[in-house]
Amino acid sequence: MVRLILLTPGLFLGRHGDYFVVKRGGVVVDKVVADGVEEIVIGGRGVLVSSDALRLAVEKGVDLVVLGPRGLPLGLLHHLRLSGLVAIRREQLRAYDDERGLVLAKGFIEGRFYGMIYVLKRIIRRVDEELALSIVEDIKQLLHDLRRINAGRVEEVRDKLMSIEAHGADKYWYAWRSIIEGFPGRVHRGAHDPYNMALNYGYSLLYGEVLRAILRAGLDPLAGFLHSDRWGRLSLVYDLVEEFRHPIVDYVILREIVRRKWKPETRGQKLSHEARAKIIELINNRLDQRLANRTREASTLRDTILVQAHRIAEYVVGKTRSYKPFKMRA
């Protein structure tokens, strides 16, 4: 399946029969049959989309994601029939106020820690084995502490959960600082160094992928468990992305930095077009990479994101007795 990613100002997305047609200056630069398109991403200013193309996307079940200036999803055009059962969302909201909410919140942190361990063992260990293995043991201890937390509602222990997650993140990013010259530590908004800018852009692409999976599983992306509610905040997207940010985004970016001495190119306070295109390619290749421990449900990481979203839905409605976070083999 193809993903149309439109970044360059002046591009026009139209329709010709059952084909999406991309033009620049009136000249056709790409033409793809709609049945072969899974997603359209509008990631730049000045990209025009015709109403005929929008209608074709809806008819064929092709999601169209619009990214904002910082790369975060602003909106998604999504067929109503793919939004799932109301029963799932009702149980999702109820789950926040009982033990299910805590199980899920702990699961998201556990999944994040697994991802950190994966990157530490697969990449950082090759640069500084002693450092990597020491931090792996520290994170394993935090996993033990996490599993010991019990309560009736996630709200009762949110501070403890966030403290454990923060401790793990501090140790993990310390390893990055130790092996990358010029990496200042993790900076979210307002990053000025190329490494954090690359991470932030990569995460924004992953948010869109997770948002699509959550909607397809019939869940409400605004109703999270680990991340607190805030007006317009995609809390469940931020929850589930924790399981995938490190083995997908961190892995490909750090691999390029370590193996190829890559330093993302910037222009002013933004990544260059070439750097953004490279990150898109790296992440899409990673998402479509076949898993060594693939199952009938999932053969790629992209499949696995959807599987995990369905696991959340199955758990909140009572089809399963527990929630199992994603763990990539190191």
The domain in which residue 42 lies consists of 2-82
Helix H or strand E segment including 174:
helix 158-179
Task: Calculate the CA 49 to chain-centre distance.
Answer: 25
Measuring CA to CA, which residue among 61, 121, 111 is closest to residue 254? 121
Residues 66 and 173 in one domain: no
Q: Which residues lie below 8 Å from residue 250, measured CB to CB, with a gap of 6+?
A: 115, 119, 199
Residue 261 resides in a domain: yes
Q: Which residues lie below 8 Å from residue 70, measured CB to CB, with a gap of 6+?
A: 189, 200, 204
Q: Which residues lie below 8 Å from residue 186, measured CB to CB, with a gap of 6+?
A: 169, 173, 176, 196, 199
Residue 322 is predicted with a pLDDT of 94
Q: Are strands 27-33 and 19-24 parallel, antiparallel or unpaired?
A: antiparallel
Handedness of CA 178, 281, 298, 304 (dihedral sign): positive
Measuring CA to CA, which residue among 30, 1, 3, 2 is closest to residue 16? 30
Residues 28 and 136 in one domain: no
Residue 47 is predicted with a pLDDT of 92
State the Cα–Cα distance between residues 139 and 171, nearest whole angstrom: 8
Residue 294 is predicted with a pLDDT of 61
In this structure, what CATH number is given to the domain that contains residue 72? 3.100.10.20
Residues 16 and 163 in one domain: no
Tokens in use for 82?
């793919």
Could you tell me if 211 and 67 are in contact, meaning their C-beta atoms sit under 8 angstroms apart? no
Residues 107 and 193 in one domain: yes
Residues 116 and 259 in one domain: yes
Residues 56 and 107 in one domain: no
Residue 115 resides in a domain: yes
Residues 158 and 250 in one domain: yes
Residue 295 is predicted with a pLDDT of 66
Residue 84 is predicted with a pLDDT of 54
The Cα angle at residue 229 between residues 231 and 65, in degrees rounded to 5:
60
Measuring CA to CA, which residue among 165, 171, 150 is closest to residue 101? 150
In this structure, what CATH number is given to the domain that contains residue 192? 1.20.120.920
pLDDT tens-digit profile, the chain (330 residues): 788 888 888 999 999 999 999 999 999 999 999 998 988 988 778 899 999 999 999 888 888 888 876 667 777 887 766 555 788 999 999 999 999 999 999 999 999 999 999 999 999 999 999 999 999 999 999 999 999 999 889 999 999 999 999 999 999 999 999 999 999 999 988 899 999 999 999 999 999 899 989 988 999 999 999 988 777 789 999 999 999 999 999 999 999 999 989 999 998 888 998 999 999 999 999 999 888 766 667 789 999 999 999 999 999 999 999 999 999 887
Residue 5 phi/psi, 5° resolution? -115, 115
Residues 197 and 285 in one domain: yes
Measuring CA to CA, which residue among 280, 265, 254 is closest to residue 201? 280
Residue 320 is predicted with a pLDDT of 95
Residue 307 resides in a domain: yes
From 82, 101, 130, the end of a domain falls on: 82
Task: Calculate the CA 136 to chain-centre distance.
Answer: 23
Q: Give residue 274's identity as a one-letter amino acid code.
A: E
Q: Give residue 32's identity as a one-letter amino acid code.
A: V
Residue 228 is predicted with a pLDDT of 80
